[in-house]
Amino acid sequence: MPKKIEQLAFGGPEVLRLVETDRPDQMALGPSEVLLRVAAAGVNPVDTHARRGEYGQLGEFPVTVGWDLAGTVEAVGPDVSALVVGQRVFGMSRFPDQAAAYAQYAVALAIDLVSTPPALSDEEAAALPLAALTAWQNLVDVAQVEPGQRVLVHGAGGGVGHLAVQLARELGAHVIATASVGKHEWLTKLGANEVIDYRTDDFVELLRANPVDVVFDNVCGEVGRRSVEVVKPGGIVIELTGVDPATQAAADGAGVRAVYHAVHRDAAQLARIAELAGEGKLSVTVSQIFPLEDAADAHRAIEEGHTQGKIVLKTW
């Protein structure tokens, strides 16, 4: 029988358990739904928040976490014309509602899925959607990064961060990344023009004389507040986990925007991301692949906070 991960209560990684389940009935698909044989599911920090009960939209127990997935179309609803049986696809399914991506089969909305480029493995495709859409929406839609601007990416070695470095580069920006020294060579190869070791160097002292236009902040808190000091008047600080009062006050005083933008599903944007990935202009680093039954270990790894790139579950 097919398998999936489910939980009966909120808590630590140990609440995630592997169970057998029925294959979804393709005859019961909604008009715009697609049955996927899931090959891989991406693991994101928001998954761990959902598991702990800090994200309240998953419904009644038992629930299955996860939104990023990649696989093959097994069946389509009567109104689906853009996807066909046998097609490789990936996407961020149903976000922020329950998508149950940690499973060998999933029912997704066709509008959330795009074709997987032949150059990408299923594991790479599953790693992309939420992280890449977060980078895209913040840098393209919110910050409107232009060629020649200076963009500072904090936490550049993580899942969202390393994609933001590449996207900012693709937009023509001069990219400055902060990360531990072990990730510097890798980030330079991805397109960072400068890399700062956050453990030994003070980015404020290094950048105050030549401020930036945009800060893309995966760290937030005190880092976000201090980042205001290195932004040009009229520039922007993007806080991925929310703008705290101290950062907002500092930004207001400096004539800088401090913003938070919640990622949302957008098939057109995801298709453009897929195009860039297929052309080799956007590369997702999958540093660890766990079997589905080890989802708890995948959550432990991501909660340690030092992941390079992305973590993925292989479902079969």
Residue 254: count of CB within 10 angstroms of its CB: 17
Instruction: Look at phi and psi of residue 233 and say left if phi exceeds 0, alpha if psi is from -120 to 50, else beta.
Output: beta
Kind of pairing, strands 33-43 and 212-217? unpaired
Domains of the chain (ranges, CATH numbers): 3-128+285-314 (3.90.180.10), 131-259 (3.40.50.720)
Contact indicator for 83, 274 with CB cutoff of 8 Å: no
First to last CA, the chain: 12
- Global pTM reads 0.97
What does R_g of the chain's alpha carbons equal in angstroms? 20
pLDDT for 274-301, tens place per residue?
A: 999 999 999 999 999 999 999 999 999 9
Contact indicator for 192, 164 with CB cutoff of 8 Å: no
Q: What is the pLDDT of residue 96?
A: 95
Tell me the C-alpha distance between 288 and 269, whole Å.
26
Place of tokens 């510097």: 184
Q: Look at residues 193, 198, 197, 199 and name the one whose alpha carbon lies nearest to residue 212.
A: 193
pLDDT for 220-264, tens place per residue?
A: 999 999 999 999 999 999 999 999 999 999 999 999 999 999 999
pLDDT of 315 over the 90 cut: yes
Q: How confident is the model at residue 16 (pLDDT cuts 50, 70, 90)?
A: very high
Tell me the C-alpha distance between 85 and 159, whole Å.
31
pLDDT of 306 over the 90 cut: no
Q: Look at residues 220, 202, 191, 242 and name the one whose alpha carbon lies nearest to residue 305.
A: 220
Contacts of residue 209, Cβ cutoff 8 Å, sequence gap at least 6: none
CA distances from 182 to 42, 168, 187, 189, 298 (A): 24, 22, 10, 13, 21
Count of alpha carbons within 13 angstroms of residue 299, beta-carbon side: 23
Q: Rounded mean pLDDT of 21-45?
A: 97
Average pLDDT, the chain: 97
β partners of residue 174: 150
pLDDT of 55 over the 90 cut: no
